[in-house]
Amino acid sequence: MPNHEERLLDAWTNFFTDVSSAGEAIINDPDILSESEKVEGLRHILRKLYLSIGSDLEASDVEYPELAWVHPFKSGQDNPDGLYQFAKIDLRYTYRLSGNIGTVRYLGLTIMNLDFSDGIEQLLTLNSEDLPTNEAGDFELYLSSEEPPAGTDAENWVTLPAKESNLMIRQFFSDWDNEEAAKLRLNCDDPSQPAGRLQVDDLIESLSEISKKAIDMVWFWRDFGQAHVKKGEINSFAHIKENQEALLTMGASPEQAYGQCWWTLGKGEALIYEVEIPDCVYWGVQLGDQWYQSLDWVNHQSSLNGSQAAIDPDGIFRAVISAADPGVANWIDTTGVSEGIITYRWNQSKGAPVPTLTLVKEEDIQHVLPEFTTFTTPEQRRQQLQDRRDGALSRFLR
């Protein structure tokens, strides 16, 4: 057998051995008691493999980068309002990012590495207001380790360290039906001749990266969630300081203030979520599971944002988190899950208030909420969910 065949066979065998071992670890983990959570853990591995195959195999050429997106993203408590795009880049080259910013509520551009083990280094953060757009929203921006050539408009040029990194685009939609996504293109200046076929060494390296990254991140996010439980950060945001800065070493955007805690509900229990909304470009709140995956937000109202929520006359946003529909407009559906992660976000905000959570019995919900609470009929809820599904799926064509 030729050497390359032996190497390929070893890499292929190791890949599936790693995946199989990770699955067995989830199935046999005594701390994962729920059948549903075991199933979701296995699905999380498959989702991470899907994501890693796209980023580390199909779109890994730094000279021919692709601003690829994945649906469902389902990683690290992904934002239900978000469309995330990634591209690997090497800033020894010069890149041209161009297109139109659309009308999406928040558009953020970040350049960073994605090494969670050593801490993420962020090199650049921009939003749509920072981009050199014309009246139609069109722009062109150069990213490079070189200084701008003579005669180049400095506004269109960003000089950065000559490092391998990742370009991440966050697009957060508030009005799912009417906001238009940014249409972006990324090209490397003066690339070499593109390879027509995948080479042996490239596939072997990709197989190793795909399995390691996918499996490591599944356990990373589960442990990250369990840390809230160990610290007692359950059904309360009391551990979060008002206007607390984002944790940049974990990949958070400096333009995004957010908070998280563990939520858990027994049978017949609900949580009342309350907060005064600050002046901000975008805000939202969502539920996730034990694997730091967002819950099903296409077919369930497991999240709410500034365009979807009803704000009470006193300026407070109040929502009910429960398994059963309480008939309240601001219901956040647990989708049959009994515990997991709750996350809120304020983007480009002038303040970062910390919400409160109050545990109540489902039967007491209407007595606890103020009399001016907005309620909804079953028919209105059905229409609300249909509109939600239509708006969600129109964001992703697959």
At 169-218, the pLDDT tens digits run 999 999 999 999 999 999 999 999 998 899 999 999 999 999 998 999 99
**Does residue 101 contact residue 136 with C-beta atoms inside 8 Å?**
no
Residue 224 binned pLDDT confidence (cut-offs 50, 70, 90): very high
Most confident of 68-82, 136-150, 239-253: 136-150
Residues 266 and 378 in one domain: yes
User: So what's the pLDDT on residue 195?
Assistant: 86
Is the Cβ–Cβ distance between 347 and 256 less than 8 Å?
A: yes
pLDDT at 142: 97
Residues 79 and 44 in one domain: no
- Considering the domain architecture, whether residues 133 and 68 belong to the same structural domain is answered as yes
Q: What is the pLDDT of residue 242?
A: 79
Whether residue 144 is found in the same domain as residue 217: no
Q: Is residue 3 part of a domain?
A: yes
Q: What secondary structure letter does DSSP report for 180? A: P
The per-residue pLDDT for 153 is: 86
Q: Over 90: is that where the pLDDT of 276 sits?
A: yes
Residues 24-30 have a mean pLDDT of 95
Alpha helices in 256-395 (DSSP H): 365-368, 378-395
SS3 53: helix
The range of the structural domain enclosing residue 15 comes to 1-58+197-221
Q: Does residue 391 form part of some domain?
A: yes
pLDDT value for 35 = 92
- Do 49 and 138 share a domain, yes or no? no
d(CA 15, CA 192): 30
Do 151 and 265 lie in one domain? The reply is: no
Helix (H) or strand (E) holding 269: strand 269-276
How many domains in the chain?
3
* CA 258/CA 290 separation, integer angstroms: 18
Q: How far is Cα 270 from Cα 62, in angstroms, rounded to an integer?
A: 48
Tell whether 5 and 122 lie within a shared domain: no
**Predicted structure pTM score:** 0.93
Same domain, 284 and 368: yes
